[in-house]
């Protein structure tokens, strides 16, 4: 059994708002000084899902792949410390400033190159842009079935059974392998690595693949292959208004509050 986890390194979602800057000229986020990028939390959950499946099966190999620059090694090492076996970094200047499509394109090529993959696990979305497209894109490009926003994943008899989170509950779907699953935070907290594993992970070498290694044409990846055009990037104005709900008695106040919430389509 060979499982692949796709991991993305993103700017720390917990960057304080005061440290968050946008460069209007290049339409890009300026990395906050002194704040290190982190593994996208949903991707840590994707890794957790793969690790649980391997634990249950008692065998299997887990490869973690990441598209990014050299620093993304840290994200790979983190998943290796959690228990993944091998790491592949897809690193090429040509990959820069791509979109969800080119990312899926490169990742799908890497998965093809790995060959014998049974299932791919992605986070439900990267916690920086929150697009949620890459997992579906990989499945589409590979021609595999895909189940998104999973809270539980079971793998048995050549099929994967996924509990999917819906807005009003959850549904269980079953699909043959190979397949792509995107994992949601409802799966539960990712494990904390043992120190022994962290040290072993630190010693592992991460394989680097470029566009040429994957047999990809530079024009089909990164900014050149991008199909999405970023029109503008702006920081939303923070603010709010306070409305005092009037009423003679607490009951009347509560009733007025409920009505106001209904009117605002909140409940």
Partner 1 sequence: MTATDDVIVPARGSRLIGAWWGPALGVSGLGLVTAVEMERTGAGRETFFNIGQPWAVYVFFSALVGLMIYGFGRHLTLWMIGRPTPGLREQIAHRLRNAVRLGLAQEKIRRDRYAGIMHWCIFSSIVVLTFVTAQVAIDDDLSLHFLRGPYYLFFSFYGDLFGLVGLVGVAMALYRRYFDDFHRIRWDERVEDHLIIWGLGLVLKTGFILEALRIAADELGPHPDWAVWSFVSFGLAHLIMLFRLSTEQLLAVHQWAWWTHLVVAFSWLGLIVFTKLDHIFFAPVNAFLLRTDSPGRLSKIENIEEREVFGVGQIQDFTWKQLFELDACVRCGRCTAVCPANIAGQPLSPMQVIQDLKAHLADVGPAIQRAGNAGHDVRAVSPLAMVGDVIKDEALWACRSCGACMQECPVLIEHVPTIIDMRRYLVMDEARIPATAQAALESLESRGHPWRGTALTRTTWMDGLGDVPIFDGSQEYLYWVGCSGSLVERNLPITQSVFRLLREAGTSFGVLGQEETCNGDPARRLGNEYLYQILAQQLIETFKSKQVQRVITNCPHCFNTFKNEYPQFDGQFEVLHHTEFLARALKEGALVPKHRIDSTVTYHDSCYLGRLNGQYDAPRQILEFLPGATVTEMARSGSRGLCCGAGGGNMWLEEVGERRLNHVRAEEAVGTGAQSVVSNCPFCIQMFEDGIPAVQPQEEGRMRAFDVAELLDQAVLGTGRTP
Q: Which residues bind partner 1 (CB under 8 A)?
A: 12, 14, 16-19, 33-36, 38, 189, 191-199
Q: Please give the Cα distance from 252 to 247 (Å, whole number).
A: 5
Between 48 and 92, name the residue whose CB sits nearer to partner 1. Answer: 48
CB of 193 to partner 1, least distance (A): 6
CB of 206 to partner 1, least distance (A): 19
CB of 40 to partner 1, least distance (A): 12
Report residue 42 as tokens.
């949903």
Rg (CA), the chain: 21
Phi, psi (degrees; rounded to nearest 5) at 222: 60, -150
Between 24 and 202, name the residue whose CB sits nearer to partner 1. Answer: 202
CB of 14 to partner 1, least distance (A): 6
Q: Please give the Cα distance from 254 to 243 (Å, whole number).
A: 14
Contacts of residue 157, defined as CB under 8 A and 6 or more positions apart, other chains included, come to none
Report residue 187 as tokens.
């799966």
H/E element, 56: helix 41-57
Phi, psi (degrees; rounded to nearest 5) at 94: -65, -20
Place of tokens 């990712």: 190
Between 75 and 160, name the residue whose CB sits nearer to partner 1. Answer: 75
Between 41 and 145, name the residue whose CB sits nearer to partner 1. Answer: 41
8-state DSSP, 18: G
CB of 204 to partner 1, least distance (A): 15
Between 14 and 246, name the residue whose CB sits nearer to partner 1. Answer: 14
């Amino acid at each position: 059994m060979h499982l692949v986890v796709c991991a993305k390194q993103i700017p720390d979602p917990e960057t304080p708002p005061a440290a968050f800057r946008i460069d209007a000229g290049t339409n890009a986020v300026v990395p906050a000084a002194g704040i290190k990028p982190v593994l996208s939390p949903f991707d840590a959950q994707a890794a957790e899902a793969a690790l649980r499946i391997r634990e249950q099966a008692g065998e299997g190999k887990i490869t973690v792949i990441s598209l990014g620059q050299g620093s993304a090694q840290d994200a790979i090492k983190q998943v290796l410390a959690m228990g993944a076996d091998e790491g592949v970094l897809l690193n090429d200047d040509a990959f820069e400033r791509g979109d969800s499509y080119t990312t899926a394109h490169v990742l799908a090529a890497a998965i093809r190159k790995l060959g014998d993959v049974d299932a791919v696990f992605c986070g439900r979305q990267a916690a920086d842009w929150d697009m949620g497209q890459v997992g579906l894109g990989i499945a589409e490009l590979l021609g595999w079935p895909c189940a998104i926003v999973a809270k539980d994943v079971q793998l048995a008899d050549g099929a994967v059974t996924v509990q999917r989170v819906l807005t009003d509950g959850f549904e269980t779907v079953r699909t043959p392998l190979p397949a792509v699953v995107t994992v949601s935070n409802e799966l539960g907290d990712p494990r904390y690595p043992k120190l022994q594993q962290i040290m072993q992970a630190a010693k592992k070498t991460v394989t680097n693949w470029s566009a040429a290694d994957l047999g990809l044409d530079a024009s089909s990846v990164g900014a050149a292959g991008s199909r999405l055009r970023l029109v503008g990037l702006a920081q939303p104005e923070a603010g709010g208004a306070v409305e005092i709900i009037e009423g003679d008695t607490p009951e009347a106040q509560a009733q007025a509050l409920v009505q106001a919430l209904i009117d605002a389509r909140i409940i």
